[in-house]
């Protein structure tokens, strides 16, 4: 018995069990009492708090990918007055049991967890389930959102994602596959391909402007039939009435084609050798040393999106990545490159749809990107910021100078937000000039790269 088996999985189960002409009963997998929303991840802690406040003092589960993200987000929520605890496989059995019991006994409202939480938890009044990043597949996602609203009453499921989540997961899959091969273990190339296919389906779910209920039901091979459903146009109240698409909460960007072509053209003008932050900075008219040295302040698309914030442009770049119009190439030094479909969009041979991103901050800056304070960072970036401060302290002690002489906190916060992967991107961080890049650049870049790969220093 399973609630999340696709038709292919059901066939595999029958083959493995070698059953002859078995009775297969497939129930309806739609959960009409759940409202599904998908949003682009910005400052995760703030976004999660918005969901929590809609369900004040009610039960909820927040899923994160890594243990460190779980710990930091749970701390963030606790500091904001939410009765929350962390749950992951790194805790002792006694601690995990204590968290489960306190959640079941309604002593706490929110559990921030890895996928380890939820199995066997029979609390029917969970009013919201939040994902802080893209899950590995729709099967996993459906299992986890299935823990909401088991009492049949309305509940909310919100997924916060970034276009780069796809490539993060894909890189992890491929690296694990290659490491197993190098260790002499038997590897299954078909399994790797299948994992990437499931990941692609999950990414498609976030980027399609189609009723979320319909997408999930049809993924599992069923036909979606809602009594009020006539079409899937965003804003059409005749849809399911329980997802951001059918509720009209997604605002389509009216200038999507022009915006996409400006972004894609800038990637080409910059030689397809730079990352998303650099491309967004060029389009917003930023004046960094890196832009000037490469002559990118003289490309025809320079400043064409100056009325938008860098965050907005980065958001559109993420969407183009998610739509497979752009690919992220390289591990340590990721760069943007046009895909075949991206070339077609650039030449006007195919249409593209982008959803609007609210402007949060002014884009008028003398340097490339926003310089956040530590309080502006989401939980995962906050952790990197603290580790960068520790690295700065070690260097300062070695040199016998105050830590701020190395970099100030605002610069470290900007590093944590932007995560530069090469010297050019490091120079786009406010507070990093040529001299400091030459002196400290390699040390900080290697440190940030190690964090991205999970090689966290104690």
Which CATH number fits the domain that encloses residue 419? 1.10.150.80
Residues 54 and 150 in one domain: yes
DSSP letter string, 226-265:
-TT-S---TT-TTS-SSBTTTTT-PPB-TTHHHHHHHHHH
Residues 332 and 409 in one domain: no
DSSP assigned state of 235: T
Enter the pTM of the model: 0.68
pLDDT at 144: 94
Give the C-alpha separation, 283 to 348, whole Å. 20
pLDDT at 166: 84
Beta bridge partners of 157: 36, 129
Residues 35 and 157 in one domain: yes
Domain presence at residue 17: no
Domain presence at residue 228: no
Residues 86 and 157 in one domain: yes
Residues 74 and 99 in one domain: yes
Which 3 state secondary structure label does DSSP give 111? strand
Residues 142 and 178 in one domain: no
Listed residues 331, 346, 361: the one ending a domain: 346
DSSP assigned state of 3: S
322 sits in the region (left: phi over 0; alpha: psi -120 to 50; else beta) called alpha
Residues 187 and 70 in one domain: no
Per-position pLDDT tens, the chain of length 458: 455 555 565 556 556 666 676 655 555 678 999 999 999 888 899 999 999 999 998 999 999 988 999 999 999 999 999 999 999 999 999 999 999 999 988 899 999 999 767 666 678 899 999 999 999 999 999 999 999 999 889 999 999 998 778 878 888 898 899 898 898 888 889 999 999 999 989 988 998 888 999 999 999 888 887 645 444 454 444 578 899 998 889 888 999 999 999 999 999 999 999 999 899 999 999 988 889 999 999 999 999 999 998 888 988 998 898 888 999 887 667 899 999 999 999 999 999 999 888 765 433 333 334 445 555 566 667 888 889 989 998 998 888 877 778 988 788 988 988 889 888 889 888 889 888 999 999 999 999 988 876 644 44
Domain presence at residue 221: no
Q: Domain count for the chain, please give it.
A: 4
Residues 87 and 68 in one domain: yes
Closest CA to 409 of 390, 435, 428: 390
Residues 330 and 425 in one domain: no
Residues 156 and 194 in one domain: no
Domain presence at residue 407: yes
Residues 120 and 197 in one domain: no
Listed residues 127, 145, 162: the one ending a domain: 162
Residues 43 and 138 in one domain: yes
Domain presence at residue 183: yes
Are 321 and 163 within 8 A, CB to CB? Answer: yes
pLDDT at 42: 83
Q: Which domain holds residue 99?
A: 31-162
Sorted by sequence, the CB contacts under 8 Å of residue 16 that are 6+ apart come out as none
CATH code: domain of residue 116: 3.40.50.300
pLDDT at 88: 93
Are 264 and 338 within 8 A, CB to CB? Answer: yes
Domain presence at residue 236: no
Domain presence at residue 189: yes
Domain presence at residue 277: yes
């Amino acid at each position: 018995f399973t609630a999340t088996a696709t038709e292919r999985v059901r066939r595999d189960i029958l083959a493995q069990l070698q059953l002859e002409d078995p009775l297969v009963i497939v129930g309806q997998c739609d959960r009409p009492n759940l409202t599904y929303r998908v949003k682009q991840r910005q400052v995760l802690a703030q976004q999660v708090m918005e969901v929590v406040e809609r369900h004040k003092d009610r039960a909820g589960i927040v899923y994160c990918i890594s243990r460190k993200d779980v710990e930091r987000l749970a701390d963030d929520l606790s500091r904001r007055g939410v009765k929350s605890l962390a749950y992951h496989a790194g805790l002792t059995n006694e601690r995990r049991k204590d968290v489960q019991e306190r959640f079941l006994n309604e002593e706490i409202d929110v559990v921030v967890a890895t996928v380890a939480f939820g199995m066997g938890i029979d609390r029917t009044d969970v009013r919201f389930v939040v994902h802080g990043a893209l899950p590995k597949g729709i099967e996993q996602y459906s299992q986890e959102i299935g823990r909401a609203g088991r009492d049949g009453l309305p509940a909310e499921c919100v997924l916060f994602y970034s276009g780069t989540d796809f490539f993060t997961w894909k890189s992890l899959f491929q690296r694990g596959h290659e490491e197993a091969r190098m260790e002499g273990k038997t590897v299954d190339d078909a399994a790797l391909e299948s994992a990437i296919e499931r990941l692609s389906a999950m990414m498609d779910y976030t980027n399609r402007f189609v009723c979320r209920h319909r997408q999930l039901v049809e993924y599992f091979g069923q036909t979606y039939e809602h009594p009020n459903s006539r079409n899937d146009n965003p804003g059409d109240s005749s849809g399911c009435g329980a997802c951001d698409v059918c509720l009209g909460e997604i605002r389509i960007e009216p200038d999507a084609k022009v915006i996409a072509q400006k972004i894609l053209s800038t990637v080409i003008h910059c030689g397809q050798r730079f990352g998303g932050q650099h491309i967004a900075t060029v389009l917003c008219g930023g004046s960094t040393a890196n832009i000037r040295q490469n002559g990118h302040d003289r490309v025809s698309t320079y400043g064409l999106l100056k009325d938008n914030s860098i965050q907005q442009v980065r958001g559109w770049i993420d969407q183009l990545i998610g739509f497979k119009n752009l690919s992220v190439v390289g591990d340590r030094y990721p760069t943007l490159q046009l895909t075949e479909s991206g070339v077609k969009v650039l030449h006007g041979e195919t249409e593209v749809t982008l959803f609007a991103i609210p402007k949060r901050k002014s884009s008028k800056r003398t340097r490339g990107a926003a310089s956040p304070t530590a309080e502006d960072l989401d939980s995962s970036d906050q952790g990197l910021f603290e580790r960068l401060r520790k690295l700065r302290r070690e260097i300062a002690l070695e040199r016998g100078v105050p830590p701020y002489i190395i970099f100030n906190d605002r610069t470290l916060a900007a590093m944590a937000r932007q995560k530069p992967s090469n010297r050019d991107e490091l120079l786009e961080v406010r507070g990093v000039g040529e001299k400091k890049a030459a002196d400290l650049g390699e040390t900080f870049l290697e440190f940030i790269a190690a964090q991205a790969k999970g090689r966290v220093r104690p």
